[in-house]
Amino acid sequence: MGYPDQRFDVNLSILFTELPLLERPAAAAAAGFTAVELWWPWIETPTPPQAELDALKKALDDAGTQLVGLNFYAGQLPGPDRGALSVPGTESDRFRANIEVAADFAASTGCTALNALYGNRVEGVDPAVQDALALENLVLAARAADRVGATLLVETLNKPESPLYPLVSAPAAIEVIDKVNAATGLGNATFLLDLYHLSMNGEDLSQVIKAYAAKTGHVQIADNPGRGAPGTGSLPLERLLDELKDAGYTGRVGLEYKPGDRPSAESFGWLPASARAAR
């Protein structure tokens, strides 16, 4: 048990950001990792030129890294946005334009998890209208994910850092997931269980794990406070990951933490080099 028993991947949208995007897979590989995940890398466009998609695939392949998680277009992230799919008008349209592009890129890289961030509440728009739009778009995303053999992830964020995001508890995300699965009949909508976000919301993490491990499609971690590497805060991450494993979770654990003032490659001292490669 413990960290060496887990299947980790590195989030290249929060780690190795001191490097250009196309150099990050090789840097992760040099640190010993062979599995990576990404937020949607083109925050300005849901439909980048094919040449840019091809260049990213080549960088992943050349480094010997497997893409195991990818966000759909989520607006300005990092930045003020927390997704696009529930935001009426242009942002919803951009999300829809991205669905098949992201799914096809996932298929080309062998990535089997696609994360759809819900989006912030919009002033002056009825939340019920946003939720109806969200369900419509998540159904489209779930079908696209299913087409390429992927699961759809729905994520809880934390209220202190994302005050306008409506899914700030595990049950809120699970309710959405259940509605998507009921609407599609596919059963491929799953929970992205982020221990950092849930802890920031003050949830009982062991209880969340017990209740929802079976519906969890991906896990992400950072320590709290500070969103740093394991060991920089007070979360018992090693124990919690063991609890997830005991509850039946066998998937990936994404390292979605900030490296602090040091280069990203120096932030992995908590994890033995022998435990970094994908299994």
SS (H, E, C) the chain: CCHHHCCEEEECCCCCCCCCHHHHHHHHHHCCCCEEEECCCCCCCCCCCHHHHHHHHHHHHHHCCEEEEEECCCCCCCCCCCECCCCCCHHHHHHHHHHHHHHHHHHHHCCCEEECCECCCCCCCCHHHHHHHHHHHHHHHHHHHHHCCCEEEEECCCCCCCCCCCCCCHHHHHHHHHHHHHHHCCCCEEEEEEHHHHHHCCCCHHHHHHHHHHHEEEEEECCCCCCCCCCCCCCCHHHHHHHHHHCCCCCCEEECCCCCCCCHHHHCCCCCHHHCCCC
Instruction: Determine the Cα–Cα distance for residues 19 and 12; give it in Å rounded to an integer.
Output: 10
Res 20 pLDDT > 90: yes
Q: Quick check: 143 and 184 in contact, CB under 8 A?
A: yes
Distances (CA, A) of 13 to 28, 37, 240, 268: 12, 8, 24, 16
Residue 1 confidence (pLDDT): 80
18 belongs to the catalytic site: no
For the chain, give the mean pLDDT.
98
Residue 141 confidence (pLDDT): 99
Residue 175 confidence (pLDDT): 98
Q: What is the pLDDT of residues 153-167, one digit of tens each?
A: 999 999 999 999 999
Q: What is the pLDDT of residues 102-135, one digit of tens each?
A: 999 999 999 999 999 999 999 999 999 999 999 9
Res 279 pLDDT > 90: no
Q: Confidence class of residue 2 from pLDDT cuts 50, 70 and 90?
A: confident
Q: What is the pLDDT of residues 30-70, one digit of tens each?
A: 999 999 999 999 999 999 999 999 999 999 999 999 999 99
238 belongs to the catalytic site: no
The β-bridge partners of 147 are: none
Q: pTM of the entire structure?
A: 0.98
Catalytic residue among 155, 175, 203, 238: 155
Catalytic residue among 37, 91, 203, 256: 256
Q: What is the mean pLDDT of residues 226-253?
A: 98
Q: Confidence class of residue 220 from pLDDT cuts 50, 70 and 90?
A: very high
How many beta carbons lie within 10 A of that of residue 228, not counting itself?
17
Q: Quick check: 168 and 156 in contact, CB under 8 A?
A: yes
